[in-house]
């Protein structure tokens, strides 16, 4: 059998097409992109923090611009994703202007994410005192509620920051793969993704994302849990040198937030409630007292995964009710004894956002996941003979008197 010139060229072209087909298919099915994210992390007046989980071990580039078309790129930041961190990266663009809107986008191995070709918008924190809104929540159990339509309501409130107060996933496992899977599933909830991309997210944990139900500092898996937590969040810090954990301090708009770790150093709840029993651990507690005393912010927020209430689970359980000696030590220390303490709620949040910028008296707010009991959770009047303005998180009772 003989082939003519045209037949040979046609056959050669067809062979070339078949050879190129695997590359074309690979270009459609496998390409650099985001698996989860982006998500905004710890805010600041001169920077943006962006977390993302990439689809492979390659360079991830953050670009920040003043315009949607990216004609004026003002800052960039890059990092190489690694398998050791499940390809999670946290990028920080510095040198930005306070209280300013910017556009940002990510490139993966030099390529645009074809699933996220529209850039995202973010705003830097104010440089000084300002009116702002913080939303907070906990107990995000995707196994029970995969749609999570509550996020549509949260977005409609237009918060400036969101604070996750623990049980952000219900892993209830000692296997890193299981914990990672739950974080990954939670980051692709359609109603949540727009909030993650546009509003800074801060987080602490509670028992179900730390380990098993009611788990404490004796957990043999806590180091793995912390390692995965740090991969999937973009907090400003994780404990201190020599004292790992998820606690940190964040300043925003004239307010200091002290986000605490109630699990890593926690004693078992069935131990006697005395001066030797701790939820925070000695080092974290000393840090809290020191930072509260050093803070010049007129308004302070304490946030933790466990209930601050003294009414909940008096005969056992998982709240501060079985750590009352330490709770009273904190509330009566020199760092807080001149401050009013009350439970955070939508009502107090509104008051805080409108008055924090002009407050003259120091105040401490306690924010928690647990709002199950009613009047006994309410903060008492000042013992110094003057009452504070406060609102109760659990019964709606409010009082307004002279400060």
The backbone torsions φ and ψ at residue 343, rounded to the nearest 5 degrees and listed phi first, read -85, 135
Q: Does residue 18 form part of some domain?
A: no
Tokens of 151: 């996020």
| Domain-ending residue, one of 127, 157, 177 | 127
User: What interhelical angle do 324-331 and 282-294 show, nearest 10?
Assistant: 20
* Cα 216 → chain centroid: 21
Domain range for 232 is: 128-399
Report the alpha-carbon distance of residue 109 to residue 114 in Å, rounded.
13
Q: Are strands 59-65 and 73-80 parallel, antiparallel or unpaired?
A: antiparallel
Q: Is 38 in the same domain as 100?
A: yes
| Domain-ending residue, one of 111, 127, 143 | 127
Q: What is the pLDDT of residue 26?
A: 44
Q: Is 49 in the same domain as 196?
A: no
Q: Does residue 193 form part of some domain?
A: yes
Q: Is 380 in the same domain as 370?
A: yes
Q: What is the pLDDT of residue 335?
A: 64
Global confidence as pTM: 0.81
Q: Is 85 in the same domain as 133?
A: no
Q: Is 57 in the same domain as 174?
A: no
Neighbours of 401 (CB within 10 A): 11
* Cα 87 → chain centroid: 19
Which CATH number characterizes residue 254's domain?
3.60.21.70
Q: What is the pLDDT of residue 309?
A: 74
Which CATH number characterizes residue 109's domain?
2.60.40.380
User: How is 311-354 classified by DSSP, letter by letter?
Assistant: STTTTSSSSGGG-HHHHHHHHTSTTTTTSEEEE--HHHHHHHHH
**Average pLDDT of adjacent 10-residue blocks, the chain of 403 residues:** 54 51 50 96 98 97 98 97 97 98 97 93 97 95 95 97 97 96 97 98 97 96 98 98 98 97 96 95 97 94 86 69 92 60 33 33 47 38 38 34 29
- The H or E element that residue 181 is part of is helix 176-186
User: Which residues lie below 8 Å from residue 344, measured CB to CB, with a gap of 6+?
Assistant: 136, 301, 365, 366, 367, 368, 393
Q: Is 177 in the same domain as 311?
A: yes
In 3-state terms, what secondary structure has residue 104? strand
Report the alpha-carbon distance of residue 250 to residue 260 in Å, rounded.
11
Q: Is 138 in the same domain as 109?
A: no
316: exposed, middle or buried (Cβ count in 10 Å: 0-12, 13-18, 19+): exposed
Q: What is the pLDDT of residue 317?
A: 72
Q: Is 297 in the same domain as 381?
A: yes
Q: Does residue 2 form part of some domain?
A: no
Number of domains in the chain: 2
Q: Is 192 in the same domain as 43?
A: no
Q: Does residue 359 form part of some domain?
A: yes
Q: Does residue 12 form part of some domain?
A: no
- Nearest of 104, 109, 110 to residue 81 by alpha carbon: 109
Q: What is the pLDDT of residue 148?
A: 96
Q: Does residue 252 form part of some domain?
A: yes
Q: Is 350 in the same domain as 298?
A: yes
| Domain-ending residue, one of 92, 109, 127 | 127
Residue 165 · residue 206 · CB < 8 Å: yes
Q: Does residue 393 form part of some domain?
A: yes
Q: Is 322 in the same domain as 290?
A: yes
- Nearest of 172, 184, 196 to residue 232 by alpha carbon: 184
Q: Does residue 116 form part of some domain?
A: yes
Report the alpha-carbon distance of residue 178 to residue 169 in Å, rounded.
11
Q: Is 171 in the same domain as 90?
A: no
């Amino acid at each position: 059998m003989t082939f003519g010139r045209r037949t040979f060229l046609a056959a050669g072209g067809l062979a070339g097409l078949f050879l190129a087909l695997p590359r074309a298919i690979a270009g459609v099915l496998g390409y650099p992109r985001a698996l989860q994210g982006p998500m905004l992390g710890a805010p600041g007046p001169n920077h943006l923090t962006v977390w993302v989980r990439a689809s492979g071990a390659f360079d991830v580039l953050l670009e920040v611009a003043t315009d949607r078309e990216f004609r004026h790129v003002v800052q960039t930041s890059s990092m190489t994703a690694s398998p050791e961190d499940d390809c999670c990266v946290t990028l920080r663009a510095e040198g930005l202007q306070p209280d300013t809107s910017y556009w940002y986008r990510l490139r993966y191995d030099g390529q645009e994410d074809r699933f996220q070709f529209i850039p995202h918008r973010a705003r830097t924190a104010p440089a000084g005192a300002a009116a702002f809104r913080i939303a907070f929540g906990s107990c995000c159990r995707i196994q029970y509620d995969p749609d999570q339509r509550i996020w549509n309501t949260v977005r409609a409130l237009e918060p400036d920051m969101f604070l996750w107060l623990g049980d952000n996933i219900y892993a209830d496992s000692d296997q890193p793969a299981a914990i990672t899977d739950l974080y990954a599933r939670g980051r692709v909830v359609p109603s949540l993704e727009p909030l993650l991309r546009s509003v800074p997210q801060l987080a602490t944990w509670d028992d179900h994302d730390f380990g098993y139900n009611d788990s404490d500092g004796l957990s043999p898996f806590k180091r793995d849990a912390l390692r995965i937590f740090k991969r999937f969040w973009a907090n400003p810090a994780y404990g201190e040198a020599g004292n790992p954990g998820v606690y940190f301090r964040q300043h925003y708009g004239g307010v200091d937030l002290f986000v605490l770790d109630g699990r890593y150093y926690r004693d078992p709840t069935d131990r006697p409630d005395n001066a030797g029993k701790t939820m925070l651990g000695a080092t974290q507690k000393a840090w809290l007292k020191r930072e509260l005393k050093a803070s010049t912010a007129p308004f302070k927020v304490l946030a933790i995964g466990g209930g601050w209430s003294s009414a909940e689970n008096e005969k056992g359980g998982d709240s501060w009710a079985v750590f009352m000696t330490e709770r009273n030590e904190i509330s009566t220390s020199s760092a807080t004894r001149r401050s009013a303490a009350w439970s955070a709620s939508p009502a107090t949040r509104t008051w805080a956002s409108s008055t924090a910028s002009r407050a003259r008296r120091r105040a401490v707010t306690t924010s928690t996941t647990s709002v199950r009991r009613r009047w006994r959770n309410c903060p008492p009047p000042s013992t110094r003979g003057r009452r504070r303005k406060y609102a109760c998180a659990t019964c709606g009772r409010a009082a307004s008197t002279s400060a």
